[in-house]
Structure 1
Amino acid sequence: TTSGFEEPNDEEYARRVESYWRQVYESDCFDIEGVRAPPCMEMNGLITFNCLSFGYPDRPLVNRYARLGLHRYNMKEGTNFELDCLIKFNKLCIGASSYWITLAARDTVARSPMQTFQVQVDEKRARLLDLMCSIARVKGETTTTAPFSSHNDCVVDGRLPDWPVDAFDGSQRFYLAEGSELLYTHWIHLYLELAVCKTHMSISDKDLSKLKIVKVAI
């Protein structure tokens, strides 16, 4: 008696895995509806969450990852886009994962039409604020055609300069931000919320709203 499922041999399995990731990478891991992982690798493929129709895990964290991407885009383009809603996101089923987030945002100053954005955030370590926002773009834009490579793969050609012996001596390289300045540096509060979210994964938006910045040294 058989179950009707014939397990593929190693060569066939490798072909299916390669085909799966090729289809995933065609959309930079953002739009993978209809792409099915081969049997026996469901836990190793991307997991998709629809944020408009269903509940999704780590809501406060993913929300702030989306805002982090918009902060990067605004700094680069001189815009003022703010998050309207999350649409969907994909992630790996591992502790430190990458997140491929699709969201809607609007420029609150230019009052331009709603735009759909794609944001990729790569966690380097779980439960610590050690991450990189590698993609922040309007959907349809192309950021790079080069294959992805980890920043850890970078090789420096030549000798690095000596680190200054007094690099962290003295306090002249810091200044205290005034209260009025904090009104225009909302990214400080965003980074604080991210730091709390990463170390307290179960925290709610309600509790995060109680965070208050008392003093900031920049």
Structure 2
Amino acid sequence: MEEEVEVIIVSELGRLEIARAAAARKRGKKIRGFDYGSDFCIVEPPVSNEYDVTLYARLGLYCYNFQKGTNFKFVRWEKYNTEFTSNFDHYITLAARDPSCNSFFSFQTVFSAAGCSTQGTYRVKTWRVLACRPTCAKSVNDNWDRDTGEMPKWLPDETLATDNKKYYVVQESELHENDWLQLFMKMAFLQANPHIGVSSSDHKAIIRKTVDGIPEHMSLEIASECRC
């Protein structure tokens, strides 16, 4: 006795819907982002690395302000989850404030530790912002699309003091007036002292900020003399 086989006739529109559903399932297996991922674990404060995560969150907010011309203020980070891809990515949700109307809102940023290299006598650490925006369901474009090349070298103090057309010495008052200068300084100290984040000694570092033309992207490279 032959086995009966049920035949289902599918229209071209039906085939299209089936193909779309299959593609969606494949995307679902590969999806990464806020509050989920292959290394899914939501972390909330307090944590031992709270100082580090605060700097990561503030850097993402700075990137948004820099690109959009806004002046949003950091309030606190609320949670994050991590992804291990070719880099180590933090998907951070934070609370921000708009001082123009004193309103508070949720903000998202992706901070990526993109590696460390040695260039001559310098140790160079690369950090990237791969997303920065008020909280939404938009996907993250985590593909950095620019090769920045080698870092410039530290110049002699005499050159910095005499050539004021190319180089500018920041005044102490400007450090207090510009939050981003303090943020960059703290990031440089964190690179030099990853376990404590602060330093009581003098520290020379070269910081280069670049963008790759993709909205919400920014790279921060920090070079300092290797310590033997």
Q: TM-score range by the shorter chain?
A: 0.5 to 0.7
In 2 relative to 1, CA 101–140 (structure 1 residues): closer, same or farther, beyond 3 Å?
same
Give the letter aligned to residue 130 of structure 2. Answer: S
Q: Is the 8 A contact 2:35 2:41 kept in 1?
A: no
Aligned to 2:145: 151
| 1:65-109 Cα deviation digits (max 9, x unpaired) | 0000111111222222222121111113589501110011112x3
Q: Is the 8 A contact 2:33 2:139 kept in 1?
A: no
Match of 2:89 among 94, 98, 101: 98
1:141 & 1:80 partners in 2: Cα distance? 23
In 2 relative to 1, CA 196–20 (structure 1 residues): closer, same or farther, beyond 3 Å?
farther
1:199 to partner: Cα distance: 3.4
Aligned to 1:162: none
Alignment of 1:140 onto 2:136:
yes
Between 89-98 and 60-69, the greater mean CA deviation after superposition: 89-98
Aligned to 2:213: none
2:27 & 2:47 partners in 1: Cα distance? 24
RMSD of Structure 2 on Structure 1 (CA): 3.8
Aligned to 2:58: 67
Match of 2:127 among 116, 131, 146: 131
> Which sections of structure 2, spanning at least 5 residues, go unmatched?
1-23, 117-122, 148-154, 209-228
Q: Is the 8 A contact 2:73 2:97 kept in 1?
A: yes
| 1:31-89 Cα deviation digits (max 9, x unpaired) | 32xx7xxxxxxxxx32423324xx43421111100000111111222222222121111
Q: Is the 8 A contact 1:135 1:143 kept in 2?
A: no
- In terms of fraction of residues, the more strand-rich structure is 2
Give the match's secondary structure for 2:42.
strand
Match of 1:31 among 31, 35, 45: 35
| 1:104-137 Cα deviation digits (max 9, x unpaired) | 1112x31332110000111111595311111110
Give the match's secondary structure for 2:177.
coil
Q: Which has the larger radius of gyration?
A: 2
Q: What are the equivalent positions in structure 2 for 1:1-218 lying under 5 Å apart?
A: 22=28, 25=31, 29-32=33-36, 45-52=38-45, 55-92=46-83, 96-107=87-98, 109-126=99-116, 129-140=125-136, 142=138, 148-151=142-145, 171=163, 172-203=165-196, 207=198
TM-score where L is the length of structure 1: 0.60
1:181 & 1:143 partners in 2: Cα distance? 37
1:140 & 1:80 partners in 2: Cα distance? 20
Q: Percent identity?
A: 22
Q: Is the 8 A contact 1:48 1:88 kept in 2?
A: no
Q: Is the 8 A contact 1:70 1:81 kept in 2?
A: yes
Count of residues paired in the alignment = 164
2:132 & 2:49 partners in 1: Cα distance? 20
| 1:123-160 Cα deviation digits (max 9, x unpaired) | 1115953111111100027477xx543436x8xxxxxx
